[in-house]
Amino acid sequence: APYVPGKPVEELERELGISGSVKLASNESPIGPSRRAVEAIFAAAENLNRYPDDTCFALRDALATQLGVAGEALCFAGGSDGILDLLAKCFLAPGDDALFPWPSFAMYPIMTRGAGANPVQVPLDREFRADVGALLAAVTPRTRLLLLANPNNPTGTSIGAADFARLVRELPERVLLVADEAYLEFVRRADFPSALAALRERETLVVLRTFSKAYALAGLRVGYAIASPDLISYLERARHPFVVNSLAQVAAAAALADRAHTARIAKVTHDGIAQLEAGLREQGLAFAQSDANFLLVEVGPAADALQERLLRHGVIARPLGGFGLTTHLRVSVGTREENERFLASLAVERKR
């Protein structure tokens, strides 16, 4: 089955002949990127006759400094999706297993099958968290990758430092542990693990990050991997040349430097989570504890049908029937007005 993205606003409006819709279906930043990123794009546009810098020199240098790692410990790609693809290409072959909690990021089974390998899905625990004991118990001689989104998508839940340390310690060395930290910048729990620090303890570990969420650059497609220079060298061999375009490179570097803007996006997100939680409580609805920029909401039976009805209000949330979550919807944090609109439409449709 192909990856199903959140419905674009333009598509919904074309289909229903409406306008002013809000998209809360793809965990995007509700506010745009840093002005500095936009200005960097305009300045770089004059040179689009040239191929990009294949080494991503300026972006690599800035990130390496900020993270305290060597430049050779980084590999860039078209979103963290691009890195997942490289991991599959380098480390999965027919007959191999890739292990991951489920439900989790929809691309994990797709990248695994694309390499001819087998996805092995380990159910989340009752609080929708990755079950580290069950993951470790599911490892077999065929297991090559363990894909762990922390915080997890579509649940927003995370695992703490003790659980992560256990994985780092007990997962056999020959299994590559992939810590996908797409939502890292939104995390508030005090005991959130540092996957970056664990790179000092474990050779077969790779950390994934992205500019799509807290840097508000989803449209440009920049993600990266942090790992040992040796492991990174394999990803570098497998990637396409010039994979990160020149506008994306300058915008990502500018966004990285604009810490005030990133802090603003985190604040809008945290305020939005509080607003959504309060509104959902008022409606008597349960939701999972989220460390990300979205909430998993239990809306009752026929959640996918409810999501279809929300579309008529111009509100796009994410149905999760495909994940086996037939009583839940995922809603991304929007602006104050967008969140309000979601809550109001939900209240109307649940009364029907």
The binding site for ligand PMP (CB under 6 A) comprises: 27, 79-81, 105, 149, 153, 180, 182, 210, 212, 218, 223
Q: Which is nearer to ligand PMP, 80 or 345 (CB)?
A: 80
Q: How far is the CB of 227 from ligand PMP (least distance, A)?
A: 16
Q: What is the CA radius of gyration of the chain?
A: 20
Q: Which is nearer to ligand PMP, 300 or 324 (CB)?
A: 324
Strand runs (DSSP E) across 12-73, as ranges?
A: 22-23
Closest by CA to 306, choosing from 319, 295, 325, is 319
* Distance between CA atoms of residues 320 and 213, nearest Å: 20
Question: Do 177 and 205 form a contact (C-beta atoms < 8 A)?
Answer: yes
- Residue 139: Cβ within 10 Å count: 18
Q: How far is the CB of 119 from ligand PMP (least distance, A)?
A: 15
Q: Which is nearer to ligand PMP, 24 or 343 (CB)?
A: 24
Q: How far is the CB of 295 from ligand PMP (least distance, A)?
A: 14
* Distance between CA atoms of residues 280 and 282, nearest Å: 5
Q: Which is nearer to ligand PMP, 87 or 343 (CB)?
A: 87
Q: How far is the CB of 158 from ligand PMP (least distance, A)?
A: 11
Q: How far is the CB of 348 from ligand PMP (least distance, A)?
A: 28
Question: Do 42 and 252 form a contact (C-beta atoms < 8 A)?
Answer: no
Q: How far is the CB of 86 from ligand PMP (least distance, A)?
A: 12
Closest by CA to 328, choosing from 292, 299, 294, is 299
Q: How far is the CB of 180 from ligand PMP (least distance, A)?
A: 5
Q: How far is the CB of 274 from ligand PMP (least distance, A)?
A: 22
Question: Do 212 and 185 form a contact (C-beta atoms < 8 A)?
Answer: no
Q: Which amino acid is at 151?
A: P
Q: Which is nearer to ligand PMP, 313 or 328 (CB)?
A: 328
Closest by CA to 261, choosing from 79, 32, 54, is 32
Closest by CA to 108, choosing from 199, 196, 178, 47, is 178
Q: How far is the CB of 50 from ligand PMP (least distance, A)?
A: 25
Question: Do 329 and 320 form a contact (C-beta atoms < 8 A)?
Answer: yes
Q: Which is nearer to ligand PMP, 4 or 305 (CB)?
A: 4
Question: Do 297 and 128 form a contact (C-beta atoms < 8 A)?
Answer: no
SS3 state of residue 176 = strand
Question: Do 339 and 279 form a contact (C-beta atoms < 8 A)?
Answer: yes
Closest by CA to 273, choosing from 66, 45, 24, 48, is 24
* Distance between CA atoms of residues 50 and 58, nearest Å: 16
Closest by CA to 40, choosing from 221, 261, 250, is 250
